[in-house]
């Protein structure tokens, strides 16, 4: 039902091309997953998402448990039917919200208790409940409940989070009842090499079908993230997909792929799109800049998406200055197309043993945002 096959490894780096086979289709890796927190990638229809080249999307356990409720999604046919996406879906476990909503949470070895950011009601997430919710949602790939602490907490707190994450992973595995969902373990440990090794040593023997690297892109410097990946990725099985959670700058994707990472997700392309910032082949374009007021040029001549094909920079800028909803829609669509194009071209570079050259060429193109 689930299978991961490696097609090519670039001998000059650790970059690899593979195929992650799921009940709802095959994902060519390395791959980027658009984030559909509440069962929708903001502002985009499923057809629009498919047009970008996206193969798999992500939804959020915590948010969907609050509204409309996992039981409602289940009654409406599960996430695939609910959001009309027939490709693979991954749901996170709610563990990241332990970090992002820290002021609204209480955590102990048994569970996390959230106070809803919507109405103040309580939501309890134990490892067993996190799995139950994700089974009701019906995604192809589901995640163990983990604790994601800030990167700068004292070492004894990091140790506590690593050991709690390991204990919760075993409980999640024991709670799983659906064979048609792949449960991933999540390696924690901040930027501490010893604690990353400790986390991997606890999780790898559990033989999960895939492994995620959590607790990065939470405030540490990019160089610290890369150093942590250098330590962590080699600890994970080569025959399982490796998923770097919540990391999304284009340069970070390149660096992570060359270190052997297969899957990514991040809100960055759509969030930036809603805020008038486009990723292009020549760097960032900030569309509120007055220099584009009368420009008839396309946003990115190297892109064939709807925004670049049919509209001028001057028009796209107008949409944002006039606060028209079409602006965020078009630039979100463009940014996701940019990400998918980047990963598709990177896969080809890996196949030809040129991933390092591809990285250098891309970084040179992006220097000096406009």
Whether 244 and 278 map to the same domain: the answer is: no
Whether 317 and 247 map to the same domain: the answer is: no
Over residues 180-223, the pLDDT tens digits come to: 999 999 999 999 999 999 999 999 999 999 999 999 999 999 99
Catalytic residues: 92, 265
Q: Answer yes or no: is 158 within a domain.
A: yes
Nearest to 56 by CA among 79, 25, 84: 25
Question: Looking at 266, 296, 324, which one is the last position of a domain?
Answer: 266
Whether 47 and 127 map to the same domain: the answer is: yes
Whether 329 and 353 map to the same domain: the answer is: yes
Whether 283 and 260 map to the same domain: the answer is: no
256: tokens are 């992570």
* Predicted local confidence at residue 189, as pLDDT: 97
* Predicted local confidence at residue 368, as pLDDT: 55
Q: Answer yes or no: is 366 within a domain.
A: no
Nearest to 315 by CA among 333, 297, 334: 297
Q: Answer yes or no: is 53 within a domain.
A: yes
Q: Answer yes or no: is 368 within a domain.
A: no
Domain span holding position 333: 273-359
User: Is residue 272 classed as helix, strand or coil in its secondary structure?
Assistant: helix
Distance CA 95, CA 130 (A): 9
Q: Answer yes or no: is 73 within a domain.
A: yes
Q: Give yes or no for a contact between 153 and 189, defined as CB atoms under 8 angstroms apart.
A: no
Whether 193 and 288 map to the same domain: the answer is: no
Whether 301 and 203 map to the same domain: the answer is: no
Whether 83 and 154 map to the same domain: the answer is: yes
Question: Looking at 239, 266, 293, which one is the last position of a domain?
Answer: 266
Query: Which residue stretches of the chain have pLDDT < 50?
Result: 369-370
Q: Answer yes or no: is 294 within a domain.
A: yes
Q: Answer yes or no: is 141 within a domain.
A: yes
Q: Answer yes or no: is 365 within a domain.
A: no
Residue 182 Cα distances to 21, 30, 60, 144, 173, angstroms? 11, 18, 16, 10, 10
Element (H, E) at 318: helix 313-321
Report the chain's terminal Cα–Cα distance, integer Å: 46
Domain count, the chain: 2
Beta bridge partners of 18: 6, 29
Whether 293 and 259 map to the same domain: the answer is: no
Distance CA 146, CA 327 (A): 37
Whether 249 and 344 map to the same domain: the answer is: no
Whether 101 and 183 map to the same domain: the answer is: yes
Whether 238 and 335 map to the same domain: the answer is: no
Question: Looking at 266, 300, 325, which one is the last position of a domain?
Answer: 266
Give me the CATH number covering residue 23.
3.20.20.105
């Amino acid at each position: 039902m689930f299978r991961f096959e490696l097609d090519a490894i670039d001998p000059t780096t650790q970059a690899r091309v593979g195929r992650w086979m799921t009940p709802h289709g095959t994902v060519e890796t390395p791959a980027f997953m658009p984030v559909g927190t509440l069962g929708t990638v903001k502002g985009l229809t499923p057809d629009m998402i498919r047009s970008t080249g996206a193969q798999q999307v992500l939804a959020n356990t915590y948010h969907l448990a609050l509204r409309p409720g996992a039981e409602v999604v289940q009654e409406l046919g599960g996430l695939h039917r609910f959001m009309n996406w027939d490709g693979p879906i991954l749901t996170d476990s709610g563990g990241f919200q332990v970090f992002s909503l820290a002021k609204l949470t209480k955590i102990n070895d048994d569970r996390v208790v959230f106070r809803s950011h919507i109405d103040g009601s309580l939501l309890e997430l134990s490892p067993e409940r996190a799995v139950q919710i994700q089974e009701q949602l019906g995604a192809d790939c589901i995640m163990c409940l983990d604790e994601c602490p800030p990167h700068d907490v004292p070492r004894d707190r990091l140790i506590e989070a690593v050991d709690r994450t390991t204990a919760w992973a075993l409980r999640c595995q024991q709670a799983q009842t659906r064979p048609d969902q792949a449960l991933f373990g999540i390696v924690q440990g901040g930027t501490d090499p010893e604690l990353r090794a400790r986390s991997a040593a606890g999780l790898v023997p559990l033989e999960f079908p895939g492994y995620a690297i959590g607790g990065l892109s939470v405030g540490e410097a990019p160089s610290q993230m890369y150093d942590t990946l250098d330590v962590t990725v080699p600890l994970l099985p080569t025959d399982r997909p490796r998923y770097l959670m919540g990391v999304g700058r284009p340069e970070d994707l390149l660096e992570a792929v060359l270190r052997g990472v297969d899957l990514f997700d991040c809100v960055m392309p759509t969030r930036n799109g809603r805020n008038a910032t486009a990723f292009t082949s020549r760097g960032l374009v900030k569309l509120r800049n007055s220099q584009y007021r009368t420009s008839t040029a396309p946003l990115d001549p190297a892109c064939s998406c709807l925004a670049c094909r049919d509209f001028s920079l001057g028009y796209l800028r107008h949409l944002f200055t006039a606060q028209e909803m079409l602006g965020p829609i078009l630039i979100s669509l463009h940014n996701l197309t940019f990400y998918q194009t980047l990963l598709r071209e990177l896969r080809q570079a890996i196949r030809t043993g040129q991933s390092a050259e591809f990285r250098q060429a891309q970084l040179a193109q992006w220097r000096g945002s406009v």
